[in-house]
Amino acid sequence: MISPSFYSIRMRASVGGRHLSGAERLVSAELIARTTQELVERARGKGTDPDQVQVTIDSLNGVPVRIIQALDLTAVNAHDLAACRSASRQVLHAAGVSPAASETALKLLDRGPAPSGGTMRGAMIMDAATGERLEPDRERGVRVSRFDWSVDAYAAIDRELTCMGLRHFRTREALSLASKVAYGPSVIAELCWSDDADYSAGYASSASTGYVRFPYMKEKGRSTGGRVFFVKSEGLDLDALLSYLQKEPVIITSIGSCGQTSDLSGLLQNTTISRHV
């Protein structure tokens, strides 16, 4: 059963005012102390020592928690950047993102999408047809918060991912974020890769394709990355979407399927068929 009292815990680490890392969790009261400690250790375990770590703990005050299942995960065994980028375009197109919008997104993530040229703390929101950016603050982006695995689902996904050799906490966290985002109003798909120089993996995801993971979305050593949420502009209620992403508590209580493939065509064929019926 889901306990009625959940707490949102957000961590933000910075050095000289520059964002270094952040994390968000949603836990029951008895896990607050342990989770806070984990997040502080995470903030300090990065290559650069932060000079400020902020941890914010908010009670949800009984706001009802939405329960979802995690997206299915497919790890694509592609061996280089070009193959991964090309497969990620195919996933986005199958989910309904136009070629123009996917090119704009890839270019921005390569360059560093903030107007200053750096990475953003949050995500871009992009019109899936035109590539137009819709997030209110282009320097910061939209930070998704208030999502987590239930204790049981955490154990289950940890087991599956470990079996597949995906032991990094980033995969587990990205899968939970992408699962919340995929069910957002008007969301069509997401594209992401890390801004950490030593982590080159990324993903394209949607409710129809699931979370499709690629090992090489950027050259090693580059520290540009970020996230793009593609939306359908027709009927879009931006305030409702922002409120869902930032405020609505979501707990993942069951996992999807987890598998690997060297050939995406089967997955995408099924996606296209199911989108048109």
- For Mg ion, the binding residues (CB under 5 A) are 195-196
Which of 184/202 has CB closer to ligand WAQ? 202
- Which tokens is 173 given? 């966290």
Give 248-262 as a DSSP string.
--EEEEE---EEEES
Question: Which is closer to ligand WAQ, CB of 95 or CB of 192?
Answer: 192
Comparison of 4 and 136: residue with beta carbon closer to ligand WAQ? 136
Beta-carbon contacts of 167 under 8 Å, excluding residues fewer than 6 positions away, are 161
Largest CA distance in the chain: 54
Q: Which is nearer to ligand WAQ, 94 or 142 (CB)?
A: 142
Q: How far is the CB of 122 from ligand WAQ (least distance, A)?
A: 4
Residue 146: both structure tokens together = 């208030």
123 binds ligand WAQ (CB under 6 A): yes
**CB burial string 91-104: b at 16+ within 10 A, e below:** bbbbbbbbeebbeb
Binding partner selected for residue 119 from ligand WAQ, Mg ion, none, CB under the kind-specific 5 to 8 Å limit: ligand WAQ
SS3 assignment, position 120: coil
62: which DSSP letter?
T
* Residue ranges in 176-205 that form contacts with ligand WAQ under rule CB under 6 A: 177, 192-196, 199, 201-203
CB of 274 to Mg ion, least distance (A): 33
Please tell me the count of residues contacting ligand WAQ according to CB under 6 A.
Answer: 28
Q: Which of 50, 112, 122, 131 binds ligand WAQ (CB under 6 A)?
A: 122
Q: How far is the CB of 64 from Mg ion (least distance, A)?
A: 31
Residue 214's binding partner out of ligand WAQ, Mg ion, none, with CB under 5 to 8 Å set by partner kind: none
What is the spatial distance between Cα 5 and Cα 165, in angstroms, rounded to a whole number? 34
Q: C-beta of 144: minimal distance to ligand WAQ in Å?
A: 4
Q: Does 213 bind ligand WAQ (CB under 6 A)?
A: yes
Considering only residues 125-144, where is the footprint of ligand WAQ by CB under 6 A? 141-144
CB of 85 to ligand WAQ, least distance (A): 14
- 131/211 with CB nearer ligand WAQ: 211
32 or 197: CB nearest Mg ion = 197
Q: Which amino acid is at 169?
A: F
Give the count of alpha carbons within 13 A of 184, CB side only: 35
Q: Tell me the residue type at 276.
A: H
Site for ligand WAQ contains 114 (CB under 6 A): no
Q: Does residue 146 bind ligand WAQ (CB under 6 A)?
A: no
Helices (runs of H) and strands (runs of E) counted in the chain:
7, 13
**CB of 47 or CB of 235, closer to Mg ion:** 47
Q: How many CB atoms lie within 10 A of CB 254?
A: 14
Task: Tell me how far CA of residue 184 lies from CA of 99, 188, 209, 249, 266, in angstroms.
Answer: 22, 9, 15, 12, 26
Question: Taking a C-beta distance cutoff of 8 angstroms, is the pair 245, 185 a contact?
Answer: no
Residues in contact with ligand WAQ by CB under 6 A are 24, 119-123, 141-144, 168, 170-171, 174, 177, 192-196, 199, 201-203, 213, 225-227
